[in-house]
Structure 1
Amino acid sequence: MIGLFTATAQGKKAAASLSLGPDAVLVDGPVKPALQRLWPSLGTAVFFMGAGAVTRLVAPLLENRRDDPGIVCVHDGFVIALTSAGNVLATEIADTLNITAVPTSDYVGESPLDEIVESLDTAIDGDIAACGAAVLAGDPIRLLNPLGFVLPDMPANLQPDNYGTEWTVLIDDRLPALRPKGKLLRLIPKTLVVGVGSSRGVTQEAVQAAFALLESEHDLDPRAVKSFATIDVKADEAGIQDAVADWGFWHGEDDGCTPPITIHTAAELAAVEVPNPSATVADELGTASVAEAAALLTARELGGRVELAAPKTNSANVTIAAARILPD
């Protein structure tokens, strides 16, 4: 339903001149109570009054981009879309009345994809500007979210069952097993905590080789790492510290930011249940696990629900594991 609201004779004359189809209704009576009564059934509300007055009328009724009607106001030679759902109708009205349309965007960034990046703190792999332009143009986009992250309200043209589209958006901390046809935009949330243990005097090169196994053996994207973790007796290992700094240089987005190293005591790690405990490590350090336990414990401290994304993996004299912070 398209509701046409006006409080003046001039506005009624302009509204009556429009041919917007059988769903358009010129609403009689006071605007505010009529708007409140009809709000649940409105697809678009068109107001023949100033934008300030319209804003005060609709503000208490707005809930979210997905469910709210389009809001358009016609005033002083302009047709202003106050919500992006009203852009198309605003252009149609402007063409009929031979005045100027003013479209809008509801998104904080340049497109709704920017809101995903902000809300999930993602790294970006692909042309987000071009994909965002396709979203705003209304092109069908396939949106894949296999880990079930909670997303901001998205427009209806972003759907998981949109097949054969030019663009696919994949939100995942893993490397894609298969690349879809067409163009791919990957948004990589920082969900992983990497636990690391080593022998005394370990080299930076040995730790780096172990870190590389997260990608080559477990298909985890290195840009998804939020934090590293280890036991306190390994906190001063130069090889671990230098390898983490090097990781940040190569994978830390534009600013080269290095993820922190969270330190735990043996007693804290010993209380964590792990799938691959070691009696040898328990005898030496007082905990049956360093890498798995440190990763799981730190991930819980950062996010609550967790799972082991990469079990204990050995490389020479280094052991690593990765835990994933799951969506709430």
Structure 2
Amino acid sequence: MLYAYRLVTSGLELMPIESDLKEALWIDLLNPLQTQVEALAALGVTVPTLADMEEIEVSNRLYREGDTEVLTVVLPGLNKMKEPSFGPVAFLITPERLVTVRYHTPRPFETFAAHAGQSSAGCSGRRRVFLGLVEEIVARLADLLEGVGKALDAQSHIAFRDPPPRGDELASALRILGRQSEQVAKYRHALLTVERALSSFGLGLDERGDKAQREILKALVRDCQALAVHGDFLSARVSQLTDVNFGLINLEQSNTSRIFSVVAVLFMPPTLVASVYGMNFPNLPGIENPYGYHIATVLMLGSGLGTYLLCKWKKWL
């Protein structure tokens, strides 16, 4: 898919499919077709492949090709199956326009054009469109981290409620905490790639002499750093809640083991009585007593009851 936007008085406007791409200020490529890649090549833009964008080396993610700056970041979004995923997004800043290349759907790319004119960076040029789009991305990451915080608040309420959670609730909590930990790590990585891209973008701003852009850039970098710190805080909360849940599981297992141990103790005295009177000796005392069975039964019940009362008094039950 190819989405081309041109500058209008109110901001950015989606151009019809048959429009001339030379008029576009922002071209957004989603899973580009070969014909679309060739159309961009006619404008002097080399579209990177997914394999190029997934390279780990910084030199393959942040570089300059002629007059074009290429900045690649990793962002959360939805894949073709509408499932949450993380993938690379390339920003190609040419002398005439901004070109973005992506193979999944981060939400900011769907929402930015509608209010690009109201962003703090504006959209009067391709660099301002880039800054405005990054501002939308940072705001989206902040919302996602806030969502993780709310999920952790819910898990904290469950862990510290009275009565405490049991069995399946604790197992479910551990799975949820594991997912949240993974999400925080990915959002943290996304913020790192965005901050690195902004730093690379800012290297030439002094030469361009746009003070307003430099101030917006500094604010975005500060936002990324603040969100990274918040991500570290959320990771610490996940670890703390995980420890609490493991502690509750250990307590529950200990209580279960204690109950079985006490029950075993309760049956020990009756078992002793039964064992004594179950001996096959001909001269066993009381073996000829007509009330021997009743006496043995009373002894077994009494010894079991006495052991139970002792355990209750010691608060072992």
Which TM-score band applies after superposition, normalised by the shorter structure?
Answer: under 0.3
Compute the TM-score of the two structures, normalised by the length of structure 2.
Answer: 0.27
**Greater helix share, 1 or 2?**
2
Compute the TM-score of the two structures, normalised by the length of structure 1.
Answer: 0.27
Structure with the bigger RCO (C-alpha within 8 Å, sep 6+) is: 2
